[in-house]
A and B are shown apart, each in its own frame.
Chain A
Amino acid sequence: MSALNSFFEVVFTFFQEMFTYALIAIFLENTIFSRALGTSTALYVIRKKYNIFLFGGVMTLIMAAASVLTYLVYPFLKGLSFSYYIVPPVFVAIIGVVYVGALLLTRSLVHKRREEILQLIHVSAFNCAVLGALLLATGIPFAGFGVYLGFGVGSAIGFTFAAYLISIASERLNSEDIPPAFRGFPITLIYIGIISLALYGLIGHTLPF
């Protein structure tokens, strides 16, 4: 009975950690609005009119797989005195493995919308959002498996959420109503800045002036 209890406790802790860190990554430390990671990728996806939710799904799977591998590998690196220099190449190699694996799996298992998904894997695997989320997860003290997985998945969902918020305003931000100098990219950045400011206030910060 006590073994069963401790098993349920472990499962409960795992889901609790995963859910908490996923929420933190989506709202408090949003990849785009809080850290500007992958902003150019989000703008590229919107400009090319890719399906944002399909892109988000692909990115979530890549991020989840990379987070699991990071959780397994990072304990061997963190004790090293030169870990700051060795971590980026190891993480890039992990992303590379996941990237190749995702392409191979898609080629062999996916039949519907295969070409579109392959194209999305190329865009979603190697960017600052993925590498940034992995690097940020290593900075969380006493992080367990749930934390790594939750933070990785949450970062991808947060990225999708941010890209969706930008895309729904994109048509207006590119319209004739905007002065030519601001139309398109400049006003989009100001729009992202306003949402970033709103999120900053929403989570309870007060401006320091």
Chain B
Amino acid sequence: MLLIACPNCGKRPETEFRCGGQAHIARPADPMTVDDGGWSEHLFVRANPKGVHAERWCHIHGCGRWFNALRDTISDRFIETYPIGEQPKSGVKPGTILGTSSATQSEARA
């Protein structure tokens, strides 16, 4: 079970959260001007990276607030959580594959 740091409540077990899929997909300002291809892209096409992934999470059984998170899909390690509407502070780019060298142990303990 993941341990997720809600920006409002602190670390809480995964069962308190709901995952909302890929983050940073803004609803087009005027959807009616988007062509069919662009709209189907917006609706259905999502990244499925091996490595760092930006996701939306909601602390549904806690404060009820949505937030964003960077999670490494290889190790399930959370790099950071950050408020909706903001960009990650760590500067780690989604899609990055983090090393599994000896650094991993100290990172795992971070």
Q: Do A and B bind each other?
A: no
| Chain B residues within 8 Å of A, Cβ to Cβ | none
